[in-house]
């Protein structure tokens, strides 16, 4: 008799899924992608919203979350973005292997460099203890209105729901899309009352000085759990070095 190939792959989530009873699930079980998922990737309507595409893809390939089975859309959309990205990475590895030919465009000369990425070697930051962490940013210029002056921002981690709701704004204008995403994740701004903060909405992020916006980006980059997708690339053409991010959407191109 032929040996049966492994059909299910258990991975450890960097953050973990918190269910409706507040219980945490730190493992997820994936199966390989099939022709069904290839059809999802080719679906024009889904391709217009990257967040929805990732939700559908993971819903199909997640066998269980902790002991929870089956996995529904609501659960996948409720996972934090670092966990979703990590699951995409693992799905890529079990389906196509851990080597990936990635291309990066040089911001100085516009030429592309191709790099063979070893996905097994990406460092992964995992959350210790219980529950998703908060990300706290101390602003320098801060936010000021007639009621007061505020310098501490507290964010929760973005989730699949946030990705889905902001995907079209992100595509239209990356800066405004980021404002929308961060506004959804903003849990506190100094001692500003929540209703006032919610009424201001994206205005808070738009009004921040560029230095403070860079501070938010830097803090997220440093403290965000999950696989570290940032890289330093040396341009094959002009020899200059630049910072780039490994593009998750390139994971599943079949070429």
Q: Least CB distance from residue 102 to Zn ion, whole Å?
A: 16
**SS3 state of residue 242:** strand
Q: Least CB distance from residue 107 to Zn ion, whole Å?
A: 8
Name the one residue in this structure whose structure tokens are 């759990």: 225
Closer residue to Zn ion, CB minimum distance, 104 or 251: 104
Q: Could you give the count of Cα atoms lying within 13 Å of 69 in the half-sphere of its Cβ?
A: 10
Q: Nearest CA to 79 among 102, 110, 105, 57?
A: 57
Closer residue to Zn ion, CB minimum distance, 111 or 145: 111
Binders of Zn ion in range 99-118 (CB under 5 A): 106, 108-109
Binders of Zn ion in range 227-246 (CB under 5 A): 235, 237-238
Please give the size of the binding site for Zn ion, defined by CB under 5 A.
6
The whole-angstrom separation of Cα 80 and Cα 83 is 5
Closer residue to Zn ion, CB minimum distance, 103 or 175: 103
Beta-bridge partner residues of 29: 10, 64
Closer residue to Zn ion, CB minimum distance, 110 or 131: 110
Phi, psi (rounded to 5 degrees) for 229 = -100, 5
Binders of Zn ion in range 73-102 (CB under 5 A): none
Asked if 149 interacts with Zn ion (CB under 5 A), we say no
Taking a C-beta distance cutoff of 8 angstroms, is the pair 213, 148 a contact? Answer: no
Q: Least CB distance from residue 243 to Zn ion, whole Å?
A: 13
Instruction: Output the six-digit token pair for 176.
Output: 């405004």
- Contacts with Zn ion by CB under 5 A lie at 106, 108-109, 235, 237-238
């Amino acid at each position: 008799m032929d040996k049966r190939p492994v059909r299910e792959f258990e991975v450890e989530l960097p953050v973990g899924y918190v269910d409706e009873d507040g219980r945490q699930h730190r493992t997820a079980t994936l199966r390989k992608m099939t022709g069904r998922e290839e059809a999802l990737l080719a679906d024009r309507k889904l391709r217009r919203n990257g967040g929805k595409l990732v939700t559908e893809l993971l819903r199909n390939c997640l066998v269980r979350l902790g002991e929870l089975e089956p996995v529904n859309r609501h659960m996948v959309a409720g996972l934090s973005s670092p966990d979703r990205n990590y699951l995409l990475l693992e799905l890529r590895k079990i389906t196509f292997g851990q080597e990936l030919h990635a291309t990066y465009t040089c911001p100085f000369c516009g030429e592309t460099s191709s790099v063979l990425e070893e996905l097994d070697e990406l460092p992964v930051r995992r959350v210790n203890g219980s529950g998703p962490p908060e990300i706290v940013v101390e602003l320098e210029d801060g936010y000021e209105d007639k009621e007061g002056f505020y310098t501490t921002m507290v964010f929760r981690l973005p989730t699949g729901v946030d990705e889905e709701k902001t995907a079209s704004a992100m595509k239209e204008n990356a800066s405004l899309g980021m404002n929308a995403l961060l506004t959804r994740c903003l849990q506190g701004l100094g001692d500003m009352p929540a209703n006032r903060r919610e009424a201001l909405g994206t205005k808070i992020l738009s009004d921040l000085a560029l230095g403070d916006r860079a501070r938010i980006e830097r803090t997220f980059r440093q403290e965000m759990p999950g696989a570290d997708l940032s890289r330093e690339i040396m341009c094959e053409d002009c020899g200059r070095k630049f910072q780039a991010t490994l593009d998750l959407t390139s994971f599943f191109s079949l070429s």
